[in-house]
A = this chain, B = another copy of it.
Amino acid sequence: MKPGIPKGTRDFSPEEMIRRNHVFHTIQNVYRKFGYVQIETPAMENLTTLEGKYGDEGDKLLFRILNSGEPFQKLSKPAPEVRTSEVSEKGLRYDLTVPFARYVVMHQNEITFPFKRFQIQPVWRADRPQKGRYREFYQCDADVIGSNSLLNEVELVRIIIEVFKSLGIQISVRLNNRKILAGLAELIGEPEKIIDITVAIDKLEKIGREKVVEELLNKGLSKDAVQKLQPVFDMGGDNDTILASLERMLKDSETGMKGIFEMNFILDTLKDVYPNDIVPVVDVTLARGLNYYTGSIIEVKVDDSRSEFSSSICGGGRYDDLTGIFGLPGVSGVGISFGADRICDVLEEIGAFPDFSNISTRILFVNFGQAEARHCLKIVSALRDKGIYAELYPDEAKMKKQMSYADSRKIPFVALVGTEEMKSRKITVKNMEDGSQSSLSIDDLVAKLG
């Protein structure tokens, strides 16, 4: 009888909603300012749209919806032989990127390219729930599709910096480029091993050089090839030093040099246009979503002395052919995604949520009885007309109960209007913080709360 909710899902209380909305609004206001326009897609997609897009592991994590009617009745086989595809045609959205690609292909004739869209919606994954990982969570994506210009990358980095500045979180941005990784794989004569190489390099910080070398050898790289990667392990210093050293290594790789050019373009433009912004750090070990990205790769981490949070809170990159899977090849895209849940966790941790008192009730009128209530409702209505959030306690309850309602709702002022105040047309206002009382006219009250 005790009701519950499915594991990995959450209810959001009024206090949590205010905080979450703050994060969503901040992100979406910056997106809008940069000319991104919002779309929404259905929670349910056809499984033909979703399947095969997230790897075998992803297919297993899709939430599938049972067909309506009597899906089992038409099947003449033992139950264990039933395949899910025989009873399920739809699944819940797993991310926002695949539905976006599907959207672009379906609506290609209505869309003007480049199409700068943002989308903030929940996604569902049948992951094993654990701390900070949910089965329903929001993604906040922005992508530009149909433009090869690196200025899009520049603007996306600027969006990231502006969002976190608005939120009050100090961050570091890391930048890599798939073409540099491809160049390195070429350099050591193992171009087809780019994924293995990057996955290994990605662990450098975590497991150390020796283990990385071991892993590379296990993956079938020759000692000679691993030796050639040595400079990558030693790479350090500022962006210019790293890029110079990469340039020496990759001078014979057209792809690699293209990657370095792109990186330089983005960094130079950022420095020129936004001289006061933090500068992304070049990091060849950044591999994030490599199967998918074809150019720039961006990752953002918290870099705030008040936070112990170390995982990524935003990331993105360029993919050269997003819509090809749905029959529209050769359309390049670049995008980023903010992890709203994690950002909320960080803001909580560092105490950086702003004061929200202006968007909740400012004053509660105590209900002393029918005549007083009507009188108060008129004042409440006048306050609301001035944009002030006000409430009348609906029931003629005990004073203590009404005051504790104000208290638990964190309403800063309580108005007491009895027969005397009705006659004098004044309002006795109690400050809930310091307990002080004052007698005010409506105009005074508007001035005080406005």
Contact = CB atoms under 8 A, between A and B. Distances in A.
B80 A394 contact: no
Contact of A79 (B4, B44, B72): B72
Contacts of A87: 66
Interface in A13-65: 13-14, 17-18, 21, 32-35, 37-46, 48-49, 60-61, 63-65
A122 B43 contact: yes
Interface stretch (A149-157, A217-225, A341-349): A149-157
Interface string A300-333: 0000000000000000000000000011000000
Contact of A14 (B38, B80, B361, B396): B38
Interface string A251-291: 00000000000000000010011100000000000000000
A254 to B, nearest CB: 21
A400 to B, nearest CB: 13
B43 A124 contact: yes
A68 B126 contact: yes
Given A79-B77, A361-B35, A392 B151 contact: yes
A409 interface: yes
A17 to B, nearest CB: 4
A contact patch SS: mixed
A192 to B, nearest CB: 28
Contacts of A152: 394
Given A82-B82, A377-B151, A395-B149, A390 B110 contact: no
B359 A32 contact: yes
Given A4-B46, A112-B405, A394 B151 contact: yes
Q: How large is the interface on A (under 10, 10 to 19, 20 to 34, 35 or more residues)?
A: 35 or more
Contacts of A269: 374, 377
B381 A273 contact: yes
Contacts of A74: 80
Given A269-B374, A374-B272, A391-B35, A40 B17 contact: yes
A395 B17 contact: no
A117 B10 CA distance: 17
Contacts of A206: none
Interface stretch (A99-107, A237-245, A413-421, A425-433): A99-107
Contacts of A33: 384, 387, 389
A114 interface: yes
A384 to B, nearest CB: 5
Interface in A122-168: 122, 124, 126, 135-136, 144, 147-149, 151-152, 154-155, 158
Contacts of A436: none
A103 B392 contact: no
A9 interface: yes
Given A35-B361, A147-B395, A377-B273, A11 B65 contact: no
A73 interface: yes
A148 B393 CA distance: 12
Contacts of A3: 46, 48-49, 102, 105-106, 326-327
A404 interface: yes
Interface string A71-114: 11111111111101001111010000000001101110010101
Contact of A37 (B5, B14, B48, B374): B14
A390 B35 contact: yes
A277 B18 CA distance: 31
A373 interface: yes
Contact of A42 (B5, B102, B327, B360): B5
Given A6-B46, A11-B39, A272-B374, 14 more contacts: A1-B326, A3-B46, A3-B106, A3-B327, A5-B44, A5-B45, A10-B42, A11-B106, A13-B39, A43-B92, A63-B68, A79-B81, A158-B381, A269-B374
21 contacts: A2-B327, A3-B48, A3-B49, A5-B42, A6-B42, A6-B44, A14-B117, A21-B38, A35-B391, A43-B124, A43-B136, A66-B87, A68-B126, A76-B79, A78-B78, A78-B79, A112-B409, A155-B394, A158-B381, A273-B378, A273-B381
